[in-house]
């Protein structure tokens, strides 16, 4: 599985960057390879100041080594056994795309395969984690339905219990507790996903990573020529501020990664190019901004 | 002490807002009184989109009630005894000022008095906490020296051990661990400060809160007419991004306040009006931006 997942995620990174570049038509992805002190490394690819995309990051990591200090408690909880002296392996693809046009939603996706080998065990412990979520500044129900329907279809092909479970998990996970609102209109989220063998879940990851562009590109095409003005851009920046609040305060990948010596720039590539904070900004009742807030406070079923 | 500190901090809030308003000359502070569910309340005063100040917040809180769920462990550690069923009281003044001109530093100050009464004790446990720190986007050594010298003088009047201790504590506290840099050029920071009676430390708080404008206003006057362009504004926004990283990830007032049901808007008034993130932004060696980074990575003695 280690080789299969690395090959898949690497191929997906190339393919996704090519499609986004073609769509943008102005800017290109840089290629920044890096090494991990313990073992392995990754490639961070960034596109900035494009025509469609203000900032897009697609990061591939294949990292291994001794279980880091700050991580052993989490791994022990997952494994139900002591893993001191264990070795971990993780292969992960993550991306966050911040569009220029406030009518185009932010998209995030991350899929990862984890393995831990402990001293006294013959078989490694393994699991998949991941998901994707959509963060619009303005609500186009058609886009959100299209997005959720596509991921429902990808999940249903493998297990009809997946989508309802992963959709609810996503609403729970991307919750900005102190604000009482979700960061966006959700998607799917799962962790600790395991089965009789990794090969059983591999097709889910194949389909979900294939869906990233298949689902997002049509949404970008549909909205990226919609006119906007300073008011829309201002609201987009306020919503990006909430994205920052979520990522820095609640996102486990971010907080865990920074605590365990992960590569700072690759982790924080998820942050928006710009953000804004105002004091008690409350959208006018009935405004498009208020309409978005309603679905962030009370998540809906979209598919 | 409860009455004395409330009277002092309330008077300071009025005085500080009046001086900043006069200096700004264009925008005024709003007055937003609020109630705390447990008991007490506060007044949050905000000035936005001024001539000098892009966003300035000055918050006064006088809050009491049963020790909140998420706080009992911290209070127990401080008191060295079980405080379940205890009552707390806190009086606090905090301010953060985000100037328009990138040549003018951000200033932050917070001074607070805490009391906890536990069931089995006749005397409450009490302490003072607080401090102030300066966050320039561009380094003017003259300003940083002036600022540190003033706070050294305020500390020295009470105890000559205070400034060296509080200055080092400040450099330790305002450390963005994952970046390996401080958020600014420091100042003073202290917590759990106690003595034979609260009255012994009250003059320190009187002097430090009086110094807030006495020290900052001359710096603002000196720098706020310096010309700047998009490059400077862009760098200011990048530094503001680091300010956000510190506040949301490391600042105990922020994380603790949000966890224990503090008033979100009053806590997050510290966030800058705008911020920016880029991928691996490294200032040119020898540039003014690189000069700032040096003192953030290796703090200096300024007074």
Burial per residue of B168-191, b for 16 or more beta-carbon CB atoms within 10 angstroms, e otherwise = ebbbebbbbebbebbbbbbbbbbb
- The burial of A69, by beta-carbon neighbours within 10 Å (0-12 exposed, 13-18 middle, 19 or more buried), is given as exposed
ipTM of the complex: 0.94
> Token pair of B266, please?
């009053």
Using alpha carbons, select from B106, B96, B176, B291 the residue that is nearest to residue A268: B176
DSSP letter at B67 equals P
Chain A closest-CA separation from residue B193 CA (Å): 29
d(CA A133, CA B13): 43
pLDDT one-digit tens code per residue, A135-145 = 999 999 999 99
Q: Across the A/B interface, how many CB contacts are shorter than 8 Å? A: 79
pLDDT tier for residue B66 given thresholds of 50, 70 and 90: confident
pLDDT at B84: 67
Using only C-alpha atoms, what is the Rg of chain B? 19
Closest chain A CA to residue B55: A278
For an interface test with A, give the residue of B95, B178, B243, B265 to mutate (most A CBs within 10 A): B178
- DSSP-based three-state secondary structure for B298: coil
Chain A closest-CA separation from residue B15 CA (Å): 21
Are A32 and B275 inside 8 Å of each other by CB?
Answer: no
Mean pLDDT by 10 residues, chain A (303 residues): 96 98 97 92 97 98 85 67 79 98 98 87 88 98 98 97 98 97 98 93 97 98 96 98 98 89 93 97 96 98 97
CB contacts of B279 in chain A (<8 Å) are 30, 44, 46, 48, 55, 57, 265, 269
Closest chain B CA to residue A261: B178
- The burial of A260, by beta-carbon neighbours within 10 Å (0-12 exposed, 13-18 middle, 19 or more buried), is given as middle
Place of tokens 């990226």: A224
CB contacts of B278 in chain A (<8 Å) are 48, 273
Place of tokens 């893993």: A83
> Token pair of B20, please?
């900043």
CB contacts of A98 in chain B (<8 Å) are none
pLDDT one-digit tens code per residue, B36-46 = 988 999 999 99
């Amino acid at each position: 599985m280690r080789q299969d997942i690395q090959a898949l995620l690497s191929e997906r990174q190339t393919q996704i960057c090519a499609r986004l570049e073609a769509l943008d038509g102005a800017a290109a992805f840089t290629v920044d390879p890096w090494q991990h002190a313990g073992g392995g490394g990754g490639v961070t690819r960034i596109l900035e100041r494009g025509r469609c995309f203000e900032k897009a990051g697609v990061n591939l990591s294949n990292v291994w080594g001794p279980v880091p200090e700050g991580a052993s408690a989490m791994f022990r909880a997952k494994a139900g056994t002591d893993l001191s002296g264990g070795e971990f392996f993780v292969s992960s693809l993550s991306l966050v795309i911040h569009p220029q046009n406030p009518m185009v939603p932010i998209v995030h996706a991350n899929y990862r395969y984890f393995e831990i080998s402990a001293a006294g065990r013959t078989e490694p412990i393994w699991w998949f984690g991941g998901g994707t979520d959509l963060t619009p500044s303005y609500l186009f129900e058609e886009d959100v339905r299209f997005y959720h329907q596509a991921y429902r279809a990808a999940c249903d092909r493998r297990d009809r219990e997946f989508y309802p479970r992963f959709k609810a998990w996503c609403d729970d996970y991307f919750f900005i507790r102190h604000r009482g609102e979700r960061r966006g209109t959700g998607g799917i989220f799962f962790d600790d996903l395991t089965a009789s063998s990794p090969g059983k879940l591999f097709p889910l990851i194949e389909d979900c990573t294939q869906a990233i562009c298949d689902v997002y590109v049509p949404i970008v095409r549909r909205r990226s020529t919609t006119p906007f003005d300073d008011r829309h851009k201002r609201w987009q920046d306020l919503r990006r501020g909430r994205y920052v609040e979520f990522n820095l305060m609640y996102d486990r990948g971010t907080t865990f990664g920074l605590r365990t010596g992960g590569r700072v720039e690759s982790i924080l590539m998820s942050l928006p190019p710009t953000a804004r904070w105002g004091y008690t900004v409350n959208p006018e009742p009935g405004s498009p901004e208020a309409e978005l807030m309603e679905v962030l406070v009370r998540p809906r079923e979209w598919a």
